[in-house]
Chains A and B, each alone.
Chain A
Amino acid sequence: MGVVEAPEVIVAASREEAVSAFGDGSDVTVVAGGTIVMPEITHGRLRPRKALLIGRAGLSGVRSEGGRTTVGATTSVADLQDAVEPLGTCARGLADLEIRGQATLGGNLCAPPGAESPRGDLQAALLVLDAQVRSTGAGGERTEPVEDFLAAGPAGRLVLDVELADPDAGASASVRRPHAHTYTIMRVCAARVGGELRVAVSGAGPIAVRSRAVEGAVAGGADSAAAAERVLDDVTPHDDALASSWYRSRTLPVLVRRALDDLR
Chain B
Amino acid sequence: MRLTVNGTEHQVVAPALTTLLHVLREELFVTSPKAGCQQGGCGACTVLVDGQPRRSCLLPVGAVEGAQVTTVEGLGAPDDLSGVQAAFHEHYAAQCGFCTSGFVMATQALVERGDGDIEREEVIEALGGHLCRCTGYVKIVDAVTAAVRGDTSPQDASADTDPQGDDAVTLLPGSPA
Query: Which residue of the partner chain, among B26, B65, B130, B131, contacts A11 with CB atoms under 8 Å?
Result: B65
Q: In the complex, are the beta carbons of B40 and A35 less than 8 A apart?
A: yes
A-B contact count (CB 8 A): 110
**Distance in Å: Cβ of B13 to nearest Cβ of chain A:** 9
Given A39-B40, A97-B128, A101-B52, answer yes or no on A53-B60 (Cβ-Cβ < 8 Å). Answer: yes
- Cα of A1 to Cα of B58 in the assembled complex, Å: 12
B14 CB-CB contact with A under 8 Å:
yes
In the complex, which residue of chain B has the Cβ closest to the Cβ of A41?
A: B17
Q: Which of B14, B54, B57, B58 has the most CB of A within 10 A?
A: B58
- Cα of A38 to Cα of B60 in the assembled complex, Å: 8
**Distance in Å: Cβ of A5 to nearest Cβ of chain B:** 5
Tell me the residues in window 41-56 of chain A with beta carbons closer than 8 Å to chain B beta carbons: 41-43, 48, 51, 53, 55-56
B106 CB-CB contact with A under 8 Å:
yes
User: A1-41 interface mask toward B, CB cutoff 8 Å, 1 = contact, 0 = none?
Assistant: 11111100101000000000000000000010111001101
Chain A interfacial residues counted at CB < 8 A: 33
Q: Which of B15, B60, B124 has the most CB of A within 10 A?
A: B60
Chain B interfacial residues counted at CB < 8 A: 35
- Cα of A74 to Cα of B63 in the assembled complex, Å: 13
Q: In the complex, are the beta carbons of B22 and A3 less than 8 A apart?
A: yes
In the complex, which residue of chain B has the Cβ closest to the Cβ of A31?
A: B60
A179 CB-CB contact with B under 8 Å:
yes
**Distance in Å: Cβ of B138 to nearest Cβ of chain A:** 13
4 nearest A-B residue pairs (beta carbon): A96-B129, A39-B39, A9-B16, A4-B17
Q: Which residues of A contact B (CB under 8 A)?
A: 1-6, 9, 11, 31, 33-35, 38-39, 41-43, 48, 51, 53, 55-56, 95-99, 101-102, 179-182
